[in-house]
Chain A
């Protein structure tokens, strides 16, 4: 099946720094979604991308849908402690558009 690749598994940054994480696939996706999961909770949708080349912002978060439709990236600017969590990329696959998730990147922010 289609897979989404996220690496590294963990990232450690200093408060105030910007961070960029990407998601790649060997298959084309028509939608890219970025979710954040805080400890002990379910994932929450941050940004949805529907068109190749699209650049979308949500506060300090910016995400882009790659031109090839095989990748996407998420930028977080001026990180703060509450940015801590697991960031997943996801995209619909198959006839029923079930979501496939990447394995996630755990972000830690040092004060």
Chain B
């Protein structure tokens, strides 16, 4: 079955560390997205990529980085520059405007 997979489901990070969240899709979608979700804040766009080897900043890109070396993969790195990284992170892919979301990664800073 086609789908979008995020891993790990739960991730704990020490302050000052970088961590990378994985997002893989086998839907053959061109576009991929990373959203951050905080309680009562809805979904805020971090980065997006319309095509391999290209990506753009979203509304809250500071402290995050991404790469898009393969169509199937769009990993997100949360760097030490992100001062408040504890959140639920959602990856999505789309074609012709129809979005499919992964199950999310909950990142906690300890």
CB-based contact B98/A42 at 8 Å: no
Docked Cα-Cα span, A31 to B99, in Å, equals 13
Residues of A within 8 A of B97 (CB): 31, 92, 97
Number of A-B contacts (CB under 8 A): 44
CB-based contact A40/B42 at 8 Å: no
- Min CB gap A91→B, angstroms: 10
Nearest-neighbor residue (CB-CB) of A10 within chain B: B40
CB-based contact B101/A103 at 8 Å: no
Given pairs A43-B90, A88-B42, A103-B40, 14 additional interface contacts (CB within 8 A): A1-B59, A31-B97, A41-B103, A42-B90, A42-B92, A43-B101, A45-B98, A92-B97, A96-B31, A96-B50, A96-B56, A98-B33, A101-B43, A103-B42
For the side of the interface on A, what is the size category? 20 to 34
Docked Cα-Cα span, A101 to B50, in Å, equals 19
CB-based contact B102/A42 at 8 Å: yes
Number of B interface residues, CB 8 Å? 23
Show the binding face of A for B, using Cβ within 8 Å. 1, 9, 31, 33, 40-45, 48, 88, 92, 96-99, 101-104
Known A96-B48, A96-B50; judge A101-B101 contact (CB<8 A).
no
Docked Cα-Cα span, A1 to B44, in Å, equals 12
Partner of A98, one of B42, B48, B103: B48
- Min CB gap B77→A, angstroms: 20
